[in-house]
Amino acid sequence: MIGFIGAGSMATAMARGWGGPVLASDSGSGRAAALVEELGGEAFRDNAALAAAAEVLVLAHRPGQLREIAASVDAAGKMVISVLGPTTTGELRAAYPESTVVRTMPNTAVQMRRGVIAVAEGGEAATELLSGLGRVVVLPEHQMNLATATSGVMPAYIALVAEAAIDASMCYGLPEREATEMFLHTLAGTAELLLSRGGDTIAARREVASPGESTVRGVAMLERRGLRSAFNDAARAVLERLEQPYPDPATR
Ligand SMILES: NC(=O)c1ccc[n+]([C@@H]2O[C@H](COP(=O)([O-])OP(=O)(O)OC[C@H]3O[C@@H](n4cnc5c(N)ncnc54)[C@H](OP(=O)(O)O)[C@@H]3O)[C@@H](O)[C@H]2O)c1
């Protein structure tokens, strides 16, 4: 069985995506028990007992807890999949020297099995398991922080964009239910369209646009209001955070 150390948002999303019973621990909130109540399996308060019972371990605690938690468990000979944001494969190997470590960056859409899971090169052993959660993309280690900026945080951005677009339609009179349904289906349909065209965003935009008419005017306004530079600045903010330290509670 898969054992999650940490039973927060990401552990819950991955466990739901995989389905089936899980082993899970938390620091006392009861979220592990809630997850087990939903999916079956067993909740642990003791990470060592969880690690002994699990076939594969998923590190789904906070990045700063790596050394403290690794020191308390024996995962020798097991696969250890990390979702710990900026934690490098080298740091994982140092913490779990006798395990097969895999650095990943999933996003919360894994719970729909439509996630994106970036895997650092060398972690291909986990590809088959992770592909049950969505699209696996293998990246060089030095590009893994870009995975956080590109897909890890993106469900939050997309949700914000959806909220802004729906609010705008409501502001000019469309009822919330219709505005929400229309926007979200447009989002899903446009994603399918773009995927089918190899990501050709310009062609998809041109097809909606007539000279001087509504689409080009709307798009020009989004550009003028800084849509591109807002995304660019957001990516920089994410990367800057990932380069800052994540203190280990054991050393504080
Ligand atoms: N959320 C995302 O979209 C996302 C995306 C990609 C990667 N990640 C990564 O996933 C990791 C978890 O993020 P999250 O958003 O799921 O955070 P979260 O909701 O705060 O969950 C953290 C979990 O770790 C548990 N925990 C803390 N100390 C523990 C200990 N000593 N032993 C066992 N469990 C312990 C917490 O227990 P309690 O429930 O008792 O507090 C909680 O269940 C982070 O490293 C983050 O970088 C998150």
pLDDT tens sequence across 105-127: 999 999 999 999 999 999 999 99
Class of domain 2-139: alpha beta
Nearest CA among 119, 55, 52 for reference residue 92: 119
In the chain, what percentage of residues exceed pLDDT 90?
A: 96
Is residue 80 within 8 Å of residue 102, measured between CB atoms? yes
Quote the CA–CA distance of 109 and 10 in Å, as a whole number. 10
196: helix, strand or coil: helix
**Over residues 79-84, mean pLDDT:** 98
Centre of ligand 1 to C-alpha 6, Å, is 5
CA atoms within 13 A on the CB side of 80: 28
Render pLDDT for 170-204 as a digit per residue (tens, 0 to 9): 999 999 999 999 999 999 999 999 999 999 999 99
Name the nearest CA neighbour of 54 among 32, 35, 34, 77.
77
Hey, which CATH number is domain 154-239, 2.40.37.10, 3.30.470.30, 1.10.3730.10, 1.10.287.110? 1.10.3730.10
pLDDT tens per residue across span 124-175: 999 999 999 999 999 999 999 999 999 999 999 999 999 999 999 999 999 9
Q: Considering only CA atoms, which residue is closest to atom 15 of ligand 1?
A: 9
The one-letter code for the residue type at 25 is: S
Question: Which ligand 1 atom sits nearest the alpha carbon of residue 156?
Answer: 3
Nearest CA to ligand 1 atom 48: 10
What stretch of H or E contains 207?
none
Q: How far apart are CA 149 and CA 11, in angstroms?
A: 19
Question: What is the distance between the alpha carbons of residues 136 and 3, in angstroms, rounded to a whole number?
Answer: 20
* 9-18 vs 31-39: helix crossing angle, rounded to 10: 10
Ligand 1 pocket test, pick from 5, 9, 116, 150 with the greatest ligand atom count within 8 Å of Cβ, gives 9
Domain edges within the chain: 2-139, 154-239
Q: Of ligand 1's atoms, which has the minimum distance to the CA of residue 148?
A: 6
What residue owns the CA closest to ligand 1's atom 28? 27
* Residue closest by Cα to atom 31 of ligand 1: 27
Report the alpha-carbon distance of residue 23 to residue 1 in Å, rounded: 7
Taking CB atoms and a 6 Å cutoff, what residues make up the pocket around ligand 1?
Answer: 5-11, 25-29, 31, 47, 60-63, 65, 69, 83-85, 105-108, 152
Q: Are 79 and 57 in contact (CB under 8 A)?
A: yes
Residue with CA at minimum distance from ligand 1 atom 13: 10
Give the nearest ligand 1 atom to 155 CA. 3
User: For position 221, what pLDDT does the model report?
Assistant: 98
